[in-house]
Each structure stands twice: as C-alpha cells, then as structure tokens.
Amino acid sequence: MQMAAQRILIIGGVAAGPKVAARARRLLPDAEITVIDKGRYISYAGCGMPFYIDDQVGHFRELFSTGYGLPRDAEYFRSERGINFRTRTEALFIDRARKEVLVRDLETGRQSRLGYDQLVLTIGAESVMPRIEGTDFAGVFKFRDPGDAQTVKEYLEKRDVQEVVVVGAGFIGIELAGALANLKLLTTVIEFQEQILPLTLDPDMARLLEQRLAAAHGIEFRTGERVIRLEGDEQGRVCRVVTDRGGYDAELVIMAVGVRPNVGLAREAGLAIGETGAILIDEYCRTSDPDIYACGDCVETTHRLTGQKVYAPFASAANRQGRVVADNLAGRRSVYRGVLGTAVLQAGSFNAGRTGLTEEQARRLGYEVVTSIVPQRDRTHYHPGSGMVILKIIADRASGRLLGVQGIGPGEVVKRIDVAAAVLHFGGMVNDLIEMDLGYAPPFNMPIDPLQHAANALVNKLDGIVETISADELKAKLDADEDFVLLDVRLEKETRHRKIDDPRRILVTLGELRRRVHEIPRDKEIITICDIGVRSYEAYRLLRGAGFAKVKSVEGGMRTWPYGPASMF
C-alpha cells in the first residue's frame, strides 16, 4: 500500500515562507507543499523598497524577480518548484485537533479547509500606525509592502511634492529619508526618542551619522519630538505635521515607526507567545505545538551573547530560520542558535551597521565596558575609491572579550561589521580581531584594516599606553570652563576647515612639538587633538616621555566632534 505524501502547509509567502518551501522541496521531492498568502505580492525584496523610490532599483518588477529575470509569482513556484502557491488567500483559524486551517479566498469570499501534517507559520509583522488624528488624509502612507512603495512613487510622480516628513528614525525611516533626499526633496525625519536608530547605535555614533546625513544631504532631524496630529488642506491632502514642539509643512508623510509581530492567528490557536510579544519557538523553530513550526518576523529568538529573548525582524534571520524549519520537516534535526543583532543599512551616500551589543546594552548587563572610536580610510588614501569609516568597538575590560562593533561612513562599513560578527560568533576576543589575517590590496583595504586599527586603539587603552577622552567629555570640560590646554597638533591648513574656537586651544604641529615642547605648560592638564586621533596619540606619547603627567588624547579626533559643522569625510 502506497503511503500518502507528507502534507506541508505554510501560511505566509514573503521571505521565510518561500525559503521553507524551496528547501523542503529539495529535501522532500514527494511532499505536498502548499503556501498561502493574503497579499497580492509574494516572495518580494522588501528591503529593496526604499531604493525603488529613488530609482536605484530601476523597475518595480525587479523587486519580485529571480537573478535570471523570471518573476517570482505563483506560476513560477508551481512550474519551477512544484509548490502550490495560493495568493489572496487568508488563514482564518487553525484547528489543531483536526490539523486543518480554515481559509478564505479574498477574491470570491469562498471558505474552505486545508489539511496538514506539519504547519509552518511565516505570517510576518505588521506596520505600527500611530493613533493620531489625520492619518487618513491623502498623501499619508505606511511603507510595508511593494504596493505601498509603488503608491508612494506614483504619488511623487503625479504631484509637485517638495516637502516630505518621515515619522520614525529606525531602519526604514532612515533609508527612506536618504532615498527622498536623493530626489532633492526637503526631507524632515521626526523621531520621538532622543536619537536616530535608537535600537541600533549608541548615542555618540547616532549623533555622528545624523550630523553627516544633515550636512551631506540636507535632511533635517527632529529627535525627542512626538507627533500629535496631521493637518490637511481643503482638498483633503496632508499639509502639516504637528508635534509637541512645533509644526512642519509636508506634502507627503510616510509613517515608519516600526513593526510588531503578527501573532493573532497563533494566539487564537492557543500557541504560546513569548516575552517579547512574538511567537515562542524552540531551537528547532517549533512552536508549543510540535507539529507547528514558525519563523521570520512573527517569532522571537535568542541573543547569542546574552541568552535573552529578543525580537529581530530581519530578512537575514528569516531566511536562516526558514532553512532550519525545512531541515526539521525532513527529519534532519537542524538547530537555530539565535542572532547577534547584526544589522546594516545604506542612507544616501552613507552606510551604517552594528553587530553584538551596544555600549548601553553591555553596561546594563553588568559588563565593565571599555570602548574605542577610530576613524580610518577603508582603503589606501591614494586610491580614488577610498572613503572614511568611523568604527566603535565595545569590549569587556576584565576579560578583553569582544562585545560589539558599530560603524558609519561613506566607506566600506559592512565588511568590517561582518568580520566582527564572525569573531563574535566564535566568542572571540579583541585580540582575535588584531590577529586575523585579512586581505590587503590598495583597491580593497589598508595594510592594517580599519577594524584592526580600532582594536589596536582599544588594546592600547587596556594596556595603559594611552589615556583618552571622548568628544562628549571634552565638550563637558569646555562648557565647565575647566583650566586645561587643548593642544591641536594638526597642520594649519587642516584647521581652516574645522577647529574648536576656544582660548584654551593652541596649535603646535606634531612635526614641531619636539623642539617646542618647552612652550607647553607643565602645570596644566594637556589634551591633545588631531584629525583622526593618530597624531594626537603620538603627541600624547611624546609628552608623557617628556615628563608630562596629566595628558589625554581626544579619541577619534575632529572626525568624531559632533558639535558644529560636520567635518569632511
């Protein structure tokens, strides 16, 4: 007697769902695999949508196409993968006892039941729409699926829009702001928290990125402001965004305040919901029902460094989880171990990213934190493609264990974030970054990688070779009228572009310092500063060797000074 084919039913067809289906088909050629999704668009590149707005993605269909040009639609999955894909089909209820899902065809309204042996929930997340007056005006959009992106683009093409407001400064908000600024629109970003990318970067790095985006692309950032209402004109179109601190003219408003896991179907079915509010899964991506798996933006996961439950709605995690689910459906006992919080983005001409813990997270967990911030070029200075990056390393002072890395800049940031993620994956130390054998050629890198420069700087601090002061600490000393000398060791031509105007500042280039060291007062604290922190470190060592007792070097130099016009990258 022939055994019945294994029935796998997947609810959700954007990222994780198609990954589960494709991998399961390769492992289980005889299985009956069905995917349902209530939307019109499936298997789309949601992360590419901001770049469609400013034409970096040339055509709408590219968000749905394979690398060889075929549209990833239901017919593609049927013909190339042997997967039954049903769009515009909504899952209404999971009957766990009968192993059936009640579904409704959204085109006809007809209801039916689909049976399963294993069910996979990849039902994603939903955009958060603040409960404020005016979100129903024309010109107000959310930005969750390709239909939203297409609607925004068409609105911009049909109307002479000049002023745009993005509400929310998370990943999507910042990427959208960069895209809108690329279109030469007057772009304002409003964020109710005190910094941009509040879940990604520490305040010092966020402030530097904000400063650079404002200077290079004219984006206005209004942090620490809460939107109260939207106002419209006589035609019912949005015209103004009112916050608790003021008002901003706007002909288009995009709400990008974040997402929350879509758990209604799972909760109604009696599946366990985790402490983050997302679906609880084990290391095999199983829910509290052993025949129901879940992955993607609807689930919570574990942070690899802390062991704590986190919500990480990223396509990279969704795809890795999808592979694990498919393996387990095929009996391969694959394990998903969690995330490091690795996340990267591009906004305008700048890149940003992080992996591991932020400084604030590490301190809350009880680590004795030590950090270094180092600006460096991503490749040799004489190569025409070179660009600056600013990297921040977070480590445990007691053990030297690497805890996290953040980076911003027009240069190649992401490569450094990925290298750091690899070291974190294996529980590495800061010294492991230094000892890694990384590739070098002028078009690709410096002889010492910028990440290794930052690691060297941190080890110098740990070893007591240098004592540094941050830009924020220097600003506090200046504001407090403390008595010290700010020793600027740059060339005079460098100071014409950017300097700290203060009577305590004196200019003595590093090349002159040895013969002029007698001019430096020994009865005051000396704080050395240069462009990126290398010459000020040299000056620090020179002064200490000359017997100066109270010396500090400004970490990252003028490139990390966020008070005033942005320095050139």
CB 8 within 8 A of CB 117: yes
* Residue 252 exposure: Cα atoms within 13 Å on the Cβ side: 25
Note the residue count of the chain.
Answer: 569
CB 390 within 8 A of CB 560: yes
Q: How far apart are CA 440 and CA 372, in angstroms?
A: 23
* Sheet strands (E) in 295-440: 301-302, 309-310, 343-347, 350-356, 369-377, 388-396, 402-409
Pick the closest to residue 347 from 156, 164, 255, 213 (CA basis).
213
CB 177 within 8 A of CB 168: no
Give the strand order in the sheet containing 350-356: 343-347, 350-356, 402-409, 388-396, 369-377
Angle between helices 74-81 and 16-27 (to 10 degrees): 20
Q: How far apart are CA 445 and CA 383, in angstroms?
A: 10
Local structure of residue 350 (DSSP, 8 states): E
179 φ, ψ to 5°?
A: -65, -45
CB 222 within 8 A of CB 228: no
Per DSSP, the chain holds a count of helices (H) and strands (E) of 16, 30
Kindly give, in sequence order, each residue whose CB lies less than 8 Å from that of residue 108, ignoring residues fewer than 6 positions away.
none
Neighbours of 366 (CB within 10 A): 8
Has 295 been annotated as catalytic? no
CA separation, residue 295 to residues 24, 39, 94, 114, 448 (Å): 14, 18, 17, 20, 40
Neighbours of 416 (CB within 10 A): 27
Catalytic residues: 47
